[in-house]
Amino acid sequence: MIVSTPAVPSEHADPRVIEAYIYAYPLVLMDITKNRHTVGGALVNRFLHLRTFPGHSSNSVVRPSNDLLYSNAWLDLSSEPIIMHLPDFGSRYYLMPLMDAWTNVFASPGTRTTGNQAGDFAIVGPHWQGELPPGVTIIRSPTNIVWLLGRLYCKRTQDDLAAVHTLQDQMTLRSLRSSSIFSALAPSPVILYITSFIQRTPAARVAKMDAESFFKYFAKLLKDNPPSPADAAMVKKLAEIGIVPGKDFDINSLDPAVRNKLEASVSAGQSKIKSFTGDSYLANGWSINVKWGSYGVHYLRRAYVALNLLGANLAEDAIYPNTSVDNKGVSLTGANRYVLHFPMGKTPPANAFWSLTVYNDGGYFVDNPLNRYAIHSADNLTYNTDGSLDIYIQANSPGIDKKPNWLPAPQEGFNLTMRIYWPKPEALNGTWRPPVMKKIN
């Protein structure tokens, strides 16, 4: 049952119970998200491929990517392994991160890790034992539910879109016992599975759960998704409030004082997740985070990312610096002109590629005469004679000679996201810093 969380004075909240709520939150959110995507499990083990990029008129997703096309699938490993076939991707960058039911990325096949050659991967559950066909690489999941959120680089031309579609059609999923391939879902022209849109309904549903509904749901999920050995201390705390892995949760068996603390923990736990400042650091006005994707025992970080960035990949695969201020800390606006200057050899250090995307204050693309929403490292950019690179971010054209490097901005406020795919060590350890957004008018 889903009901509105009752108002309980925060002084009745027990820190142990708040911590338990934070610990449980990603598992509950992931399962509700899975059920929504798969119509209650009917559509598991099937790819759904994104076929097009959103335009400026699309508002289904906040801060959409203009770099990659997504291929999404939820896997159920409870009966047997799932065999994933990936084609030869040639020189195209791709990644296929696999998340367990707790939102941890436990494997990330792709250009960075396994290379671009064709291959077959057996994704197996935590307790499966058996034989696999020759030439199949085993990937063991900590849980029987897995979310695969693949990405393929695309140049946004009709020819390249067609090439990506061909690759997507060659990606298959099948069970170990059967040679029959699970048919992919109908190609979707709409982004259904990225960040904000993913969680609007599921997160809202979790937020409305009272303590009994939430912890009962959590206890049920624990039966198939047990805590990791590293969670031993948390398992002890769960037992103190009546939650034991493998057993049902009965709130009525608890002392009324404990029940009251459970109720208070719901709102207190939600508030703590929302108020987490994250692990980002500032560099020249850019906010950078390199701690997403695998969380260990940092449960608050895991819950925060689940709420705000469900599906986040490992930093080793990509990082996303963002800024909304200029070199003086003033908010960016289309009333001004800006330049982003990269000295020679100091463009974003990526083994794959990098991009720079502009969004309006609502987080959407901006209508402009070039239909250009992002600058990419693979674009035909004009470099200065000394090897440096200037990107011009402004509402009006900077002139024909600077057009290749012009990233159109809205007339009003805006912000930028830099995407660095397969970042080099200097991008991950902070020795490389993005340049400031310099106001030039």
Asked if residue 305 and residue 239 are part of one domain, the reply reads: no
- Specify burial of residue 75 (Cβ count, 10 A radius: 0-12, 13-18, 19+): buried
| Contact between residue 202 and residue 36 where contact means Cβ atoms under 8 Å apart | yes
Q: How confident is the prediction for the chain on average, in pLDDT?
A: 91
Residue 67 lies in a domain: yes
Spatial separation of the C-alpha atoms in residues 62 and 33, rounded to whole Å = 18
Torsion of CA 123, 124, 125, 128, to 10 degrees: 180
* Percentage of residues in the chain having pLDDT higher than 90: 76
pLDDT for 359 equals 95
Query: In angstroms, how far is CA 63 from the centroid of its own chain?
Result: 12
pLDDT for 180 equals 75
DSSP secondary structure letter of residue 184:
P
pTM score: 0.90
* Banded model confidence at residue 59, pLDDT cuts 50, 70, 90: low
Spatial separation of the C-alpha atoms in residues 358 and 395, rounded to whole Å = 11
Asked if residue 248 and residue 311 are part of one domain, the reply reads: no
Query: In angstroms, how far is CA 17 from the centroid of its own chain?
Result: 27
Residue with tokens 């204050």: 361
Residues 6 or more apart in contact with residue 242 via CB below 8 angstroms: 249, 250, 251, 253, 254, 258
Region 301-330: mean pLDDT is 95
- Spell out the alpha helix ranges (H) of 310-350: none
State which of 255, 275, 295 marks the end of a domain.
275
Asked if residue 359 and residue 214 are part of one domain, the reply reads: no
State which of 219, 246, 275 marks the end of a domain.
275
pLDDT for 90 equals 98
Residues 6 or more apart in contact with residue 157 via CB below 8 angstroms: none
Residue 2 lies in a domain: no
pLDDT for 30 equals 95
Task: Kindly tell me if the per-residue pLDDT of 195 is higher than 60.
Answer: no
Choose among 319, 358, 256, 264: nearest CA to 18: 264
Spatial separation of the C-alpha atoms in residues 95 and 111, rounded to whole Å = 6
Asked if residue 434 and residue 290 are part of one domain, the reply reads: yes
CATH number at residue 343: 2.60.120.600
Residue 306 lies in a domain: yes
Q: State the amino acid at position 386 in one-letter form.
A: D
Residue 33 lies in a domain: no
What are the residues facing 303 on neighbouring strands? none
Total count of domains within the chain: 3
- Beta strand pairing status for 281-283 and 286-288? antiparallel
CATH number at residue 78: 2.60.40.1610
Domain that holds residue 154: 48-184
Residues 6 or more apart in contact with residue 130 via CB below 8 angstroms: 81, 176
Residue 4 lies in a domain: no
Choose among 393, 433, 438: nearest CA to 413: 393
* Banded model confidence at residue 72, pLDDT cuts 50, 70, 90: very high
| Contact between residue 363 and residue 62 where contact means Cβ atoms under 8 Å apart | yes
Choose among 26, 7, 17, 37: nearest CA to 217: 26
Residue 28 lies in a domain: no
Residue 95 lies in a domain: yes
pLDDT for 61 equals 66
Residue 6 lies in a domain: no
Asked if residue 302 and residue 361 are part of one domain, the reply reads: yes
Phi then psi dihedrals of residue 325, to 5 deg = -135, 160
Asked if residue 362 and residue 254 are part of one domain, the reply reads: no
pLDDT for 114 equals 98
* ∠ CA 360-160-357, rounded to 5°: 20
- Spell out the alpha helix ranges (H) of 276-414: 299-309
DSSP-assigned states of every residue in 132-164:
--TTEEEEE-SSSEEEEEEEEE--SSHHHHHHH
Spatial separation of the C-alpha atoms in residues 199 and 222, rounded to whole Å = 21
CA contacts within 13 A on the Cβ side of 441:
13
pLDDT for 3 equals 41
Spatial separation of the C-alpha atoms in residues 113 and 256, rounded to whole Å = 52
Choose among 180, 157, 179: nearest CA to 66: 157
Tell me the per-residue pLDDT of 86-128, one tens digit each, with 9 for 90 and over: 999 999 999 999 999 999 999 999 999 999 999 999 999 999 9
Asked if residue 435 and residue 288 are part of one domain, the reply reads: yes
Asked if residue 435 and residue 294 are part of one domain, the reply reads: yes
Asked if residue 246 and residue 287 are part of one domain, the reply reads: no
Task: Find the helix or strand (DSSP H, E) in which 271 lies.
Answer: helix 256-275
Tell me the per-residue pLDDT of 391-436, one tens digit each, with 9 for 90 and over: 999 999 999 999 999 999 999 999 999 999 999 999 999 999 999 9
Asked if residue 396 and residue 262 are part of one domain, the reply reads: no
Asked if residue 163 and residue 118 are part of one domain, the reply reads: yes
Region 286-308: mean pLDDT is 95
Asked if residue 240 and residue 303 are part of one domain, the reply reads: no
Tell me the per-residue pLDDT of 228-284, one tens digit each, with 9 for 90 and over: 999 999 999 999 899 999 999 998 888 888 788 888 888 999 999 999 987 899 999
State which of 250, 275, 300 marks the end of a domain.
275
Is 377 or 190 the better-scoring residue by pLDDT? 377
